[in-house]
Structure 1
Amino acid sequence: MTTTPETAARTAGSSARSGTEIRLDHVTKDFGLAHPAVDDISLTIQPGEFMTLLGPSGSGKTTTLNLIAGFETLTVGTISLNGTDVSDVPPHRRNLGMLFQNYALFPHLTVAQNVAYPLRERKMPKQEIARKVAEVLELVQLTGRDDHHPSQLSGGQQQRVALARAIVFEPRALLLDEPLGALDRNLRSALQAEIRRIHREVGSTFVFVTHDQEEAMNLSDRIALFNNGRIEQVGTPQQLYASPETLFTARFLGDSNVFELGQGAPGGSVVWDGETWGIDPATVSPHPGVRANSAIVVRPEDVEVAAGRDEVPSGANAVRATVRDVEYMGSYRTLLLSMGERGLPGRTRVSPLRGDYAIGDRIVVWWRPASQRIVAA
């Protein structure tokens, strides 16, 4: 995959020096059910990278994280850290940090004692433990809370303690299993910013599991999108959003207008509901031609509104639509639409200053062929 300037900047310097490469080769985990939980996946996570495993419940992302951690045994395949096969190495010898949703703090220990626990287990000298605990509490902005117990802290503060404990022993990589799932929206947003900052400062490899697409888009250098035990697509957030390769990717990441093609042609146009639309070859996903099992995907922000056909620019693709509802979203309005003769549900976004749309209005929506994506349906 192409590396964007933003990704290069975030993975440069200390991240590239201190991070660990994690490589999964043809990994399968079969629990003996109808389908393997993880089905022949291969993935390389670069040193210092923030990789998110994203997907719906039951898609295999958490099982994959547990395989990396060593909590689950492989059925087939290998997992290596910096080129060393650790497939049969027990969890405590992989030197990986782990952060869970439920914090898993010891209620009878203070903040400092909780953070120091993995260092005491490694029998570090007391002075070294005190120094490292002080440094990591400053990193997670909990200086002065050393003597507090978990019950005296907010949920967000408890998660910071858990994060401090997970990184204090300088693990080869940090594995995060939906760590923000129990927090409210505002607190989640604040802690996402903290996790991004800590990732940059620590420079370790982070592998983050979530089912929340916005969280994944906000945090990640790259995303591995899981579906039914397999990886659907891997790329930067921008690549997955702007250039989905399958209909599952297009629908899972963000809103989409989806036009499934009843018939297609490998030429310069397709037909949908009696409308003939142009194709930009650069927007066709890597599969042979435009086939009957393909679909056109257009993001709502790329769809424009016109009162009639005479207002549609030359070369644009257009379809008649009826306004079903209008949603005020603050910085924009969403028009919920019925498109074409078959009344396909769709949506577009307009300025909140344009309040002249009402339910039942008949309009024409249009977009440029370069802004659509043709994917395997």
Structure 2
Amino acid sequence: MTILIGKTPATAGPEAAAGGAGAQIRLERVTKDFGLASPAVDGVSLTIEPGEFMTLLGPSGSGKTTTLNLIAGFESLTSGTIRLDAQDVSTLPAHRRNLGIVFQNYALFPHLTVAGNIAYPLRERKVPRAEIERRVAEVLELVQLKGRDQHYPAQLSGGQQQRVALARAIVFHPRALLLDEPLGALDRNLRAALQLEIRRIHREVGTTLVFVTHDQEEAMNLSDRIALFHDGRIEQVGSPETLYGAPETLFTARFLGDSTVFPLGGQPLTGPVTWEGERWAVDAATVAARAHEGGPTALVVRPEAVGVVRDRAQVPAGANAVRARVRDIEYMGAHRMLQLAVGEDVAGRAQIPAADRSYTLGDDVVAWWRPDAQRIVAA
């Protein structure tokens, strides 16, 4: 079964989408100022392509949810422009933007059945009864709730209620689907299951999807691209692989995954770098673009790229190395994580096989990594 999200319903009005893969969403210098010390959203520019799964990721207060509310029309712009395809919707009311919204709290009507909740946006749009029944049946099958149409929300689990909210947001063929922390109220196992369902539904309907979360793992699992927010601005935009493997700033490196971070100050990056008497080779391809601006930088290396040996003579040729001490060992199931004390105040991390029990607390070791596995970022 294929449901074409973005196909213009006859009753949707002139503001409805015309394409079959959802709308392009373009933010141009978007700002929202609530009159506080700094704007909640500060000059954000971002293009979300038709059919793309874009996640707005960041800590609480970073501006991601406010940005989603600006796209939805729930908040008014202080300045800037928002376009859906070629249409400027900056001043268009939320109900005329034809966007599907899913909230963390589901926002289901308790007095309506599952079918009644899903049908609600169609009834508001004066869709004929037979068409309503057909579309409701389609999305019930899509979200795997067939046979639950006459149940009430109180009779459903949290995951089932979220599926109903998703079906209601899809059924009227929106130009794009906006999801605001939709899995935040669910336990870990159910979150993982519904992540798979959201990814499957996105593949099947093919619509533009904007997903807000503060959960790094969730963003990495679901997204085509991630826009990482920090203090009301976008820190970096890219695929999950790019943000994890090629961070441009220390904030990005620390927010997305674990790292060992060595501050480098403002030393030149045209050759080897030094840190507390160590001299390390630099692979030019791993120096982030922003590091050339002349400000402070840091060398970042991920735990899976760090090897551990007993003696410096065991370090592979061409690798960078530093002396460390094992201060903790975490068993993670598939692997063990060594927590390392490096120098005066650097907390290092090295990932080793789960079966490796050769290290104990207090062991003196040498940590090493290849120059092409490190990243030098703006700090």
Question: Which residue does 1:346 correspond to in 2?
Answer: 348
1:200-215 alignment, distance < 5 Å:
200-215=203-218
Once the two structures are superposed, what CA deviation does each residue of 1:63-83 show, in whole Å capped at 9, x if it has no partner? 000000000000010000011
Amino acid at match of 1:366: W
CA contact (8 A) 2:274 2:280 kept: yes
Report the identity percentage.
71
CA distance, structure 1, for counterparts of residue 328 and residue 269 of structure 2: 36
CA distance, structure 1, for counterparts of residue 60 and residue 346 of structure 2: 28
1:313-328 alignment, distance < 5 Å:
313-328=316-331
Question: Which residue does 2:239 correspond to in 1?
Answer: 236
1:252 aligns with 2:255: yes
CA contact (8 A) 2:295 2:378 kept: no
Amino acid at match of 2:346: L
CA contact (8 A) 1:263 1:270 kept: no
Once the two structures are superposed, what CA deviation does each residue of 1:276-308 show, in whole Å capped at 9, x if it has no partner? 000000000113549561000000000001111
1:272 aligns with 2:275: yes
Root-mean-square deviation over aligned CA pairs: 1.1
1:149 aligns with 2:152: yes
Structure 2 gap ranges (5+): 1-18
CA distance, structure 2, for counterparts of residue 337 and residue 65 of structure 1: 40
Amino acid at match of 1:257: T
CA distance, structure 2, for counterparts of residue 25 and residue 304 of structure 1: 44
Aligned-residue offset at 1:252: 0.2
Question: Which residue does 1:122 correspond to in 2?
Answer: 125
Amino acid at match of 1:336: Q
Question: Which residue does 1:368 correspond to in 2?
Answer: 370
1:286 aligns with 2:286: no
CA distance, structure 2, for counterparts of residue 229 and residue 123 of structure 1: 39
CA contact (8 A) 2:286 2:374 kept: yes
CA distance, structure 1, for counterparts of residue 26 and residue 293 of structure 2: 34
1:1-377 alignment, distance < 5 Å:
17-262=20-265, 264-287=267-290, 289=292, 293-340=296-343, 342-377=344-379
CA distance, structure 2, for counterparts of residue 140 and residue 41 of structure 1: 34
CA contact (8 A) 1:55 1:210 kept: yes
Aligned-residue offset at 1:313: 1.4
Aligned residues: 361
Change (3 A) 1:41 1:192: same
CA contact (8 A) 1:107 1:150 kept: yes
TM-score by length of 2: 0.94
Q: Secondary structure at the match of 1:89?
A: coil
Q: Secondary structure at the match of 1:261?
A: strand
Change (3 A) 1:127 1:27: same
Aligned-residue offset at 1:184: 0.2
Structure 1 gap ranges (5+): 1-15
CA distance, structure 1, for counterparts of residue 179 and residue 292 of structure 2: 40
CA contact (8 A) 1:265 1:290 kept: no
- Decide which moves more: 282-291 or 147-156: 282-291
Aligned-residue offset at 1:17: 4.1
CA contact (8 A) 1:305 1:366 kept: yes
CA contact (8 A) 1:98 1:176 kept: yes
Amino acid at match of 1:319: V
Q: Secondary structure at the match of 2:330?
A: strand
